[in-house]
């Protein structure tokens, strides 16, 4: 623990304080800061995804001093929960990062991959910036920061208490979401004679019938509960594993075209392995022909090796291993192997990261196929507002990918049964199993409609006054009579109306597409010139625009 982290306060805190630095009114950027008299800790330190406005938060300074954070408790390895840990280390954090053993192993492949993607994309950005005479940018962190970060991990088994700070201990509960994923129970010792304050952070809760995982667990009777709400307003089809595979089989059969492809944007960790397992089983059982499957993600390749090492911890781990050993399964590692996929003939399946189409190799596969009738794009997970995946899901007729315009002629399909998140009824049941709740429930990790939908499901279960919906960077004192919002706290980095929304970058992309479509639809050169002149006039500074009295009179 650093000296800075243990620096004494001018006066002791009367109550622990919880601040929501991410996943508040939105799904990504999970980061919760807990302050006590013993020190400050973080539960998760994740990247923001979605619109460019939200992703820019990853580049800004933390809204706290990293060297004053004594420890981090990491719920699981997904980048929206772990992705800013190397940045935290880069800017002074030197404490322990507590996680399960499988999370520690997955972080060992996911965080280096995150650094590599940043370094590559920043290099491409700086090349374009130099051509346009603009300033260069630096990556959020690099491989050296990741190496230093990984040395700070301390693994702990599920259900075992471990000390985080003097007077503060924690333990992990199976969350049923991802290999190694956990909900986090924390006990903060109160003043002499008082019992401990008990907090429960759900992190991401897996659904019923989750492939490879047992149902989520947790304690009852906590003081404060912080629960995710990603699908809080959704009643998903109540499907068994058999139904899930049948629906996947039907989607694949419908996608088969002699010269076509089925593109599956996928999270490289767990979702890719689930799809490999189910498709492999369908082929082995004769439900599908022997279709070539290409996993176009170096991260998925490395993560699959981690899953193989831990397969005995998984339900149906043997089925996963059968899929991983199938002769029709191919992993692409190099850039050249990835590019060669565009020259394949005959129907095939490509599973490529990222799951929301906002980075990675899936964008290159989409550029080659999105404009073709013989292609199908199948989404199998949540698409955050502002991402290319959500735009395609919402029925866009044309899109921009890496600055290029494409018409959308491919079939766009969705299959929600592979979601790693519980739906509304499952979340409500998980919350009910944690009762009685002494004080308050915080709903996080969801867009506003999802949060409000989950709150509505809890009518009659909890008093509405005890269901709180924190906004980005809001802080609450956790008193012995309930949570009290801290007034006069610093302004949030983004106001609530700017979180989990389409932003001006999305509007500009749509405008460019609309302008080009309007020009293409204009029948002659003269009318196109008029349209261009009007657009230029609209872009001119106000003082340069002609006023009515300055315009020449119309000729009759």
Contact call for residues 111 and 78 (beta carbons, < 8 A): no
Helix, strand, coil: what percent of the chain each, to 5?
35, 20, 45
Q: Output the pLDDT for position 542.
A: 65
**With the C-alpha atoms ordered 209, 213, 219, 222, is the resulting torsion angle positive or negative?**
negative
Quote the CA–CA distance of 151 and 482 in Å, as a whole number.
38
Q: Which of 446, 468, 498 is the last residue of a domain?
A: 498
Q: Which helix (H) or strand (E) holds 386?
A: none
**Is the overall model pTM greater than 0.85, yes or no?**
no
Residue 405 neighbours by CB under 8 Å, 6+ apart: 398, 399, 512, 513, 516
Rounded to whole angstroms, what are the CA distances from 393 to 25, 76, 272, 399? 21, 27, 20, 12
Indicate the residue among 418, 441, 473 that finishes a domain. Answer: 418
CA 11 to CA 17: how far, in whole Å?
14
Rounded Cα distance between 81 and 24, Å, is 13
Q: What's the CA gap between 127 and 66, in Å, rounded?
A: 31
395-424 residue pLDDT tens: 999 999 988 999 999 999 999 888 889 999
Name the residue with higher pLDDT: 537 or 321.
Answer: 321
Residue that is written with structure tokens 């029925």 in the block? 395
Measuring CA to CA, how many Å separate 85 from each of 26, 95, 445? 20, 11, 18
Number of domains the chain contains: 3
pLDDT reported for residue 527 = 81
73 versus 267: which is more confidently predicted? Answer: 73
pLDDT for 492: 85
Instruction: Identify the pLDDT of residue 88.
Output: 98
pLDDT of residue 44: 98
480 assigned to some structural domain: yes
Domain end marker among 418, 450, 483: 418
In this predicted model, what pLDDT tens digit does every residue of 416-448 receive, in sequence order? 888 889 999 999 999 999 999 999 999 999 999
pLDDT of residue 499: 67
CATH number at residue 277: 3.40.50.10890
Are both 511 and 472 inside the same structural domain? no
Q: What is the pLDDT of residues 161-194, one digit of tens each?
A: 999 999 999 999 999 999 999 999 999 997 765 7
CA angle 203, 208, 211 (to 5 degrees): 90
Residue 281 is predicted with a pLDDT of 93
Peptide bond into 85 cis (omega under 30): no
Q: Say if residue 475 is in the same domain as residue 508.
A: no
CA nearest to 296, candidates 382, 354, 377, 370: 354
Judged against a pLDDT cut of 60, whether residue 290 lies above it is answered with yes
pLDDT, tens digit, for every residue of 17-45?
A: 999 999 999 999 999 999 999 899 999 99
Residue numbers of the domain that contains 343: 241-418
Q: What does the alpha-carbon distance between residue 125 and residue 257 come to, in Å, rounded to a whole number? A: 37
CA distances, 23 to each of 242, 261, 386, 474 (Å) = 33, 35, 15, 11
Same domain, 175 and 313: no
Query: How far lies 217's CA from each of 40, 228, 449, in Å?
Result: 27, 14, 26
188 and 256 in a single domain? The answer is no
d(CA 418, CA 516): 37
The mean pLDDT of the chain is 89
pLDDT number for residue 332: 94
Q: At what angle do helices 298-309 and 317-324 cross, to 10 degrees?
A: 140
Tell me which residue of 385, 377, 375 sits closest to 412, measured CA to CA: 377
Q: Do 181 and 76 share a structural domain?
A: yes
Same domain membership, residue 184 and residue 75: yes
pLDDT in tens, 195-222: 799 999 999 999 987 888 889 999 999 9
- Same domain (yes/no): 210, 123: yes
Same domain, residue pair 466 and 510 = no
pLDDT reported for residue 241:
84
**pLDDT beyond 60 at 554:** no
126 half-sphere exposure, CB direction, 13 A CA radius: 10
Question: How distant, in Å, are the alpha carbons of 10, 73, 117, 164, 175 from that of 19?
Answer: 20, 15, 30, 18, 23
Q: What is the CATH number of the domain that holds 424?
A: 3.60.15.10
CB 274 within 8 A of CB 281: no
Q: Answer whether 292's CB lies under 8 Å from 328's CB.
A: yes
* 393 and 277 in a common domain: yes
User: What is the DSSP-derived secondary structure letter of residue 194?
Assistant: S
Residue 547, domain member (yes or no):
no
For the chain, give the percent of residues with pLDDT over 90: 69
């Amino acid at each position: 623990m650093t000296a800075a982290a243990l620096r004494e306060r001018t006066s002791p805190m009367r109550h622990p304080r919880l601040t929501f630095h991410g996943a508040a009114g939105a799904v990504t950027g999970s980061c919760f800061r807990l302050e006590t008299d013993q020190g400050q800790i973080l539960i998760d330190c994740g990247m923001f995804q979605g619109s460019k406005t939200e992703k820019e938060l990853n580049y800004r300074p933390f809204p706290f001093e990293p060297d004053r954070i004594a420890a981090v408790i990491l719920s699981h390895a997904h980048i929206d929960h772990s992705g800013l840990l190397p940045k935290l280390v880069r800017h002074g954090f030197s404490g322990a990062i507590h996680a399960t053993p499988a999370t520690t192993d997955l972080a060992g492949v996911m965080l280096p991959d995150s650094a590599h993607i940043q370094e590559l994309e920043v290099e491409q950005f700086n090349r374009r910036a130099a051509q346009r005479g603009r300033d260069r940018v630096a990556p959020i962190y690099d491989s050296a920061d990741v190496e230093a970060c990984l040395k700070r991990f301390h693994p702990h088994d599920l259900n075992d208490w471990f000390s985080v700070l003097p007077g503060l201990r924690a333990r992990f509960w199976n969350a049923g979401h991802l290999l190694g994923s956990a909900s986090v129970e924390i006990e903060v010792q109160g003043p002499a004679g008082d019992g401990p304050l008990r907090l429960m952070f759900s992190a991401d809760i897996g659904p019923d019938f989750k492939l490879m995982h047992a149902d989520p667990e947790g304690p009852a009777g906590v003081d404060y509960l912080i629960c995710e709400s990603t699908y809080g307003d959704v009643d998903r089809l109540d499907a068994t594993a058999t139904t899930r595979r049948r629906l996947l089989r039907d989607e694949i059969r419908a996608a088969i075209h002699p010269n076509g492809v089925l593109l599956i944007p996928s999270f490289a960790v767990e979702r890719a392995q689930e799809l490999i397992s189910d498709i492999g089983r369908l082929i082995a059982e004769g439900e599908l022909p022997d279709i070539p499957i290409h996993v176009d993600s170096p991260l998925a390749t490395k993560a699959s090796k981690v899953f193989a090492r831990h397969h005995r911890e998984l339900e149906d781990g043997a089925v996963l291993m059968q899929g991983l050993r199938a002769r029709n399964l191919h992993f692409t590692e190099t850039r050249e192997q990835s590019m060669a996929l565009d020259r394949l003939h005959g129907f095939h399946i490509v599973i490529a990261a990222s799951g929301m189409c906002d980075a990675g190799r899936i964008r290159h596969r989409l550029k080659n196929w999105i404009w073709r009738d013989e292609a199908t794009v199948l989404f199998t997970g949540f698409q955050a507002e502002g991402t290319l995946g959500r735009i395609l899901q919402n029925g866009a007729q044309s899109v921009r990918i890496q600055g290029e315009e494409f018409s959308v002629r491919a079939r766009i399909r969705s299959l929600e049964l592979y979601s790693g998140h519980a739906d509304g009824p499952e979340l409500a049941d998980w919350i009910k199993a944690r009762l009685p709740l002494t004080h308050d429930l915080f709903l996080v990790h969801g867009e506003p409609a999802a949060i409000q939908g989950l709150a509505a499901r809890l009518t009659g279960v909890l008093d509405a006054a005890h269901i709180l919906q924190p906004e980005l960077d809001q802080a609450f004192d956790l008193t012995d009579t309930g949570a009290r919002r801290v007034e006069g706290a610093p302004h949030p980095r983004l106001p609530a109306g700017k979180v989990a929304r389409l932003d001006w970058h999305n509007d500009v992309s749509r405008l460019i597409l609309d302008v080009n479509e309007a020009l293409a639809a204009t029948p002659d050169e003269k009318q196109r010139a008029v349209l261009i002149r009007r657009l230029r006039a609209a872009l001119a500074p106000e003082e340069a625009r002609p006023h009515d009295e300055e315009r020449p009179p119309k000729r009759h």
